[in-house]
Amino acid sequence: MDTPSFPTALSSLPLRRVVALSVPGAEGDLPARLFIPRGRVRGAVLYLHGGGFVHCGLNSHHGMCCRLARASGAAVLLVDYRLAPEHRFPAAVEDSLAALRWLAALSARCWGGGVAVAGDSAGGNLAAVVAQEARNGAAPQPVMQLLYYPTLYGRRLFPSHQTYGSGYFLSRRSMEWYADQYISAEPDWDDTRFAPGEHPDLSSLPPAVIITAECDPLRDEGAAYAQALSQAGGRVFYRCYPGALHAFLNFYAFMPYGKAALRLGGKALRRAFRPQERR
């Protein structure tokens, strides 16, 4: 399930370059792609793909990262982190942190030093976790976190889980299956590296842009995290796209909401990387 929704060669045309490379992971090098937009590049974004910690990769999210690089004016790094069930929790977290450290060093040399984290679904979970771990000193602090329909709360149930739990692309049963592939042991369900929404301290985290889909069992998780970050004193922008389903970014070539959400995220990243707006 690493198939692009739009031809990768055509997606790459508006960019200056797309570079295939390897970056350090927690236990060895990881395949990656670096998307470099035209014009002046300011900052770098670590993009962590969705797929339930089990599916997807460099091809499935190629077009999305092309559009995000173009909209943000930043370099975007898409990393093929280790997937479950062969590599269970916290392998994906450890790879993501290693990639962020590498990207921050590259950005310091080439693009002004700023770095942000972004991701969709399971990748949104990883981006939120990385932001928390970076605050605690595990990696350089991102200037922003961009979370598309993230899964964030582990065991906790929300009304949208029931309302949209079947018949709306992502089901509760598939959510449970993905978690079973990723989780190593029972205590992991309560580990904040899997359930970042349950972290007892959400203060001093990077500004967040959280985007959800109305007809998605994960909708209320994103809304709850936006509210919790705001109550902890964070800067948060939240938007829910009416009528949209989970994973609508993957179908950006056919769904206007997908293009709009990538433009929105790209513009927010562009602002975050402007030094005068970060002061």
- Report, as residue numbers or ranges, the catalytic residues: 121, 216, 246
Distance CA 123, CA 148 (A): 8
Distance CA 100, CA 140 (A): 8
Q: Where are the alpha helices (DSSP H) in 206-254?
A: 219-231
Give one DSSP letter per residue of 127-182, joined into a string: HHHHHHHHHTTSSPPPS-EEEES----TT---HHHHHTSSSSSS-HHHHHHHHHHH
Query: In whole angstroms, how far apart are CA 247 and each of 15, 50, 212, 226, 227?
Result: 24, 8, 10, 19, 22
Nearest-5° Cα angle at 162, 237 to 209: 10
Taking a C-beta distance cutoff of 8 angstroms, is the pair 165, 172 a contact?
yes
In sequence order, the β-bridge partners of residue 145 are 117, 208
In sequence order, the β-bridge partners of residue 78 are 33, 47
Taking a C-beta distance cutoff of 8 angstroms, is the pair 52, 22 a contact?
no
Burial degree of 277 (CB within 10 A; 0-12, 13-18, 19+)? exposed
Distance CA 221, CA 142 (A): 22
